[in-house]
Chains A and B, each alone.
Chain A
Amino acid sequence: MAINWFKYAAPTTFYGLAGKMIPWFAVSAALLFCAGLYIGFFVAPVDAQQGEFYRIIFIHVPTSILSMFLYLIMAGYAALGLVFNTRLSSMMASAIAPTGALFAFISLWTGALWGKPMWGAWWMWDARLTSELILLFLYLGFIALHASIDDPRRADRAAALLAIVGSVNVPIIYFSVQWWNTLHQGSTIKFSGTTMHVVMQQALLIMLLACWSYAFAVVLARVRSIILERERNTTWITQIPGVAEFPEAKR
């Protein structure tokens, strides 16, 4: 049975679909966080060089990966909205930005906490750290630019340009450890294999999946509010659950 994907590009149908998906992602995220934290703290062995401090990896790496991927997804949606003038794409881009910014912030915060015991400093003007900080500023710039323009369609277009141009920063973050001499270590898990303990890998993977599930749940919940806000003048909005079952207020 073929799925008509274009059907879900309309806010009217996506609103309901998102509502059905949120509980699944939210429950998955909660369970995966519990499992990941348990394995990361109680099962994974202590690192030979870094001791207990290495356990920051289970939140630092997933949030860093998510901050980069979410930016690319946001820029992709923004580009779709700009090129095809699709309403939902721009709404998705707006919904992703705050979550991406928070992931970038957590990445920088946990990185600082890891850097202090390992490098002896909270912050270094290192290529990886600086480019991640620029990513946070790009997210904040996107949110601020969008909020500063009253007309939502014009705001979508202006913010989309910033998102697309800013996407050049993502490969810079990723390859910064190869292109420049940096304090930040390179990738531990590569296509060619890894020296990491298998339990550490499992905890890392589970925490990564937890962060993905959390991000999906929150972004879908936020995009539903954006759809409600933007489509509030349409008839279908008055028939959705949460609006239709509330009778008109008596005056």
Chain B
Amino acid sequence: MSLDIWMRENPLAYVWIGSYAVALLIFAIEIAMVIHKRKITLQQVRLMRDAKNETFGNETYGDEE
């Protein structure tokens, strides 16, 4: 009941916090997850390349120092 009173007294705060802030938070979480996934996948790919080079002795992508 108190929420009913609060929302009618503060409609803009209700709209902002309840819907826009939540939506923007969800978007931010999704962006963070996509960036994290890319980092992890790139790391996996590099590890696989290194493992393959070690097994088959590929000189193309090795450190030339």
Q: Chain A: residues with CB nearer than 8 A to chain B? A: 37, 41, 51-53, 55-56, 59-60, 63, 98-99, 102, 105-106, 109-110, 113-114, 116-117, 214, 218, 221-222, 224-225, 228-229, 232-233, 237-238, 242-244, 246-251
Contact = CB atoms under 8 A, between A and B. Distances in A.
B22 A242 contact: no
Interface string B15-58: 10011101100110011001101100110111111100110000
Contacts of A102: 26-27, 30
Nearest to A99: B30
Nearest to B24: A33
B34 A222 contact: yes
Q: DSSP majority for the B interface?
A: helix
A74 B6 CA distance: 41
Contacts of A214: 27
Nearest to A235: B60
A229 B42 CA distance: 8
Contacts of A52: 11-12, 15
A51 B9 CA distance: 12
Contact of B50 (A60, A221, A248): A248
Nearest to A109: B22
Q: DSSP majority for the A interface?
A: helix
Given A109-B22, A238-B49, A53 B15 contact: yes
Nearest to B10: A52
A52 B48 CA distance: 55
Given A59-B19, A221-B35, 9 more contacts: A59-B23, A63-B23, A99-B30, A105-B26, A109-B23, A238-B45, A244-B61, A248-B53, A249-B50
A198 B50 CA distance: 59
A153 B34 CA distance: 22
Nearest to A62: B23
13 contacts: A52-B12, A59-B19, A113-B14, A113-B18, A113-B19, A117-B11, A221-B34, A232-B45, A243-B49, A247-B65, A248-B61, A248-B62, A251-B54
Nearest to A26: B31
Contact of A106 (B4, B11, B14, B22): B22
Contacts of A59: 19-20, 23
Which 6 residue pairs across A and B have the least CB separation, nearest first? A52-B11, A247-B63, A110-B19, A113-B18, A228-B41, A225-B41
Contacts of A233: 48
